[in-house]
Structure 1
Amino acid sequence: MENKKLRWVYLIVLSIIWGSSFILMKRALIGLTPIQVGALRILITAIFLLPFGFKSFSKIKKRHWYYLTLNGFIGSFFPAFLFAYAIDKIDSSIASILNSLTPLNTLIFGILFFGFGFRKRQLIGVLIGLIGTVLLILKGAELNPNQDYFYASFILIASVGYAFNVNILKKYLHDLDALSITVGNFTLLIIPTFIVLWYTNFFETFEVNESSIKGILYLTVLAIFGTGLAKIMFNRLIQISNPIFSSSVTYIIPIVAISWGILDGEKITLIQITSGFIILFGVYLVNRSK
């Protein structure tokens, strides 16, 4: 399949996987703390990737390791904890909506720090998508006035990290295959993750019970599909497309996440549905051919 069609396949599959990851985090948090969810998600992903990705280390050159380290921390390590803490305090669907700011940040930081160009149509598309996102946020806040929206800022910080992550991959790691990038990222994060678990007394205080076992099962599904396999696909998507197209996956994610939210008892209104269509139009405008 040619890259132009393949990138849309990746976009749709990633939207389904990552759109489902929010409800998995929400369920995992019933039996685990946010710090445990963030750390164990990274650790399980690394354990899953290493057996079949071990040979990829031979492709990683010395010049790659600096950017793999930077990419691993801002694109995987810190967001894993930021999302866990945010979803512990606000609805999973709202968290996914806030994550839609990533394409706007990708465009802004790509221009300011990485020298990437853009077309006027792309900027208009991003802004249209942002309008849909704002409408979703406002309606979500109206429906959930008792939630602590301070933690929404954690999602915004993570979206900035994702924006830098996409631009770094495109500019500095474009000559490294997607599996090597992902395996390199999570291998580097194993020791920092163990340090986090050690200093939070996880090994002394963790209790094995029905709730924690269910939490780990949800987290394992999230780590294998929502982090490991999805990261490989996303890294490949960046290589065969551009940063704006790649990050626009975060515009479609809320539609999937909100659908899961409805099934889990979260409220949805006609305005939110309309906003979802506005977001999709923004994605189309950003990515359509000349």
Structure 2
Amino acid sequence: MIDGSGHEMNPGDNTVNAANPASGDPADALPAPAVRDWRTPLELLFLGIVWGCSFLFMRVAAPKFGAYALVELRLALGATVLLPFLWMARARFPLRRWPTLAAIGLLNSALPFLLFAWGAQHAPAAIGAICNAMTVLFTALIAFLFFGEKIGARRAVALLIGFVGIVVLATGKSAGLSVGPAAFAGATASLLYGIGYSLVKRYMSDLPPAASAASTLGCSAVLLAPLAWTHWPAAPVPALAWACAGALGVVCTGLAFLMYYRLIQRIGPARASTVTYLVPVFGALLSWSILGEPLTWSMLLAGVLILGSVAFSQRAR
């Protein structure tokens, strides 16, 4: 499952990818069952809305900032929110590990964020939100191709269905214009998330999730800074775009990570991963209801195919 910061939690294990959630001691006292019963669905709903909003925020802010400047703000703000966790765990981050952290940050944060931001400049927000759901399937594919993990017949079929969904999405149009380039950018971003998660699981599973998220986001912000500087918008940026960029970094990339990880600690990764199904739904609905962007039949069909393939693959677990 991918969070809005570009980090993923595999529903089948306890490794959190470098940019999702927080902290709190797992031994913290759990709430009474009656409280937990109503709180969990509300938190899942809230996370689905927050990560759905991330695509709306990109759609508003990316045309004003450009992809490089917007992603730089997102990375820097997200890393700042999580920085206290890195400081507390600084002894576990010797210098020899930072090149690996930087490389993973590029694959798992900077490049996917750039692709989604570029797509948001050229197509409705729903396109990126729907593509993001493919991360679950791409993670299984990368683990199979490069790390020797079994994929199974069900997941193989699910991948084929998901790819059909991407093709359907890419062949559609919005306002008479092709959304193909944006759809393929979103699919590539999801593939990079899958690669990044596999690397996190292999090289960073011994590190605290919130601290490792801060490190990879911070490295990405430093590496992207020269490009962001040279591509900084010349014209004044409207206040609304600044607000969306701030919310994208602080809320969708930093705070949501903390909430998601705490949710995993309380209810487990499999149940927490159900938020995967909410993000495309809210991304599409918010795009339609707030921005007035059309919901086309190709988007709806692609959403059904992709989310259906994810559900089908997870039934095998």
User: Could you say whether these structures have the same fold, taking a TM-score greater than 0.5 normalized by the shorter chain as the test?
Assistant: yes
In structure 2, the CA distance between the partners of 1:14 and 1:162, relative to structure 1 (3 Å rule), is: farther
Question: Does structure 1 residue 192 correspond to structure 2 residue 223?
Answer: yes
Gaps of 5+ in 2: 1-10, 17-39
Distance 1:115 1:289 in 2: 18
Identify the match of residue 50 of structure 1 among 76, 83, 89.
Answer: 83
Matched, 1:117 2:150: yes
Q: Matched residues in 1 for 2:253 and 2:122: separation? A: 22
Q: Which of 249, 269, 283 lines up with 1:223 in the alignment?
A: 249
Residue of 46, 50, 66 corresponding to 1:17: 50
Q: CA deviation at 1:234?
A: 6.6
What is the SS of the residue equivalent to 2:282?
Answer: helix
2:284 to 255, 258, 277: 258
Deviation at 1:278, TM superposition (A): 4.2
State the one-letter code of the partner of 2:188.
I
Aligned to 1:157: 188
Quote the Cα distance in structure 2 between the aligned partners of 1:131 and 1:12.
28
- Identity percentage of aligned residues: 27
- Of stretches 57-66 and 182-191 in structure 1, the one that deviates more from structure 2 is 57-66
The aligned amino acid for 2:197 is: V
RMSD: 3.6
In the alignment, what sits opposite 2:132?
A: 99
Per-residue deviation, residues 94-128 of structure 1 (Å, max 9, x unmatched): 12223333333222221111222222223233433
How far did residue 13 of structure 1 move?
5.5
- Cα deviation for residue 274 of structure 1 reads 5.4
Change (3 A) 1:238 1:155: farther
Which protein is richer in helix relative to its size? 1
Q: Tell me the amino acid that sits aligned with residue 287 of structure 1.
A: Q
> For the structure 1 residues 153 and 126, does the alpha-carbon distance in structure 2 shift closer, same or farther, using more than 3 Å as the test?
closer
**AA matched with 1:217:** A
Q: Tell me: CA distance 1:174–1:13, structure 2 relative to 1, closer, same or farther (3 Å).
A: farther
After superposition, residues 162-177 of structure 1 pair within 5 angstroms as 162-177=193-208
Counterpart code for 1:198: W
Matched, 1:72 2:105: yes
Q: 1:126-137 maps to which residues of 2 (within 5 A)? A: 126-137=159-170
Deviation (angstroms), 1:166: 1.1
Secondary structure in 1 matching 2:78: helix
- Contact kept, 8 Å, 1:39 with 1:80, in 2: the verdict is no
Separation in 2, partners of 1:268, 1:127: 24
- Corresponding position of 1:181: 212
Distance 1:266 1:102, change over 3 A: same
Report if aligned partners of 2:127, 2:186 keep a CA contact under 8 Å in 1: no
- Give the equivalent residue in structure 1 for 2:309: 282
1:238, distance to aligned residue in structure 2 (A): 9.5
What is the SS of the residue equivalent to 1:265? coil
Query: Structure 1 96/64 Cα, relative in aligned 2: closer, same or farther at 3 Å?
Result: same
Mean Cα deviation higher: 17-26 or 39-48: 39-48
Q: What letter is aligned with 1:266?
A: E
User: Does structure 1 conserve the Cα–Cα contact (< 8 Å) formed by 2:116 and 2:186?
Assistant: yes
Alignment of 1:241-256 (within 5 A): 241=269, 252-256=278-282
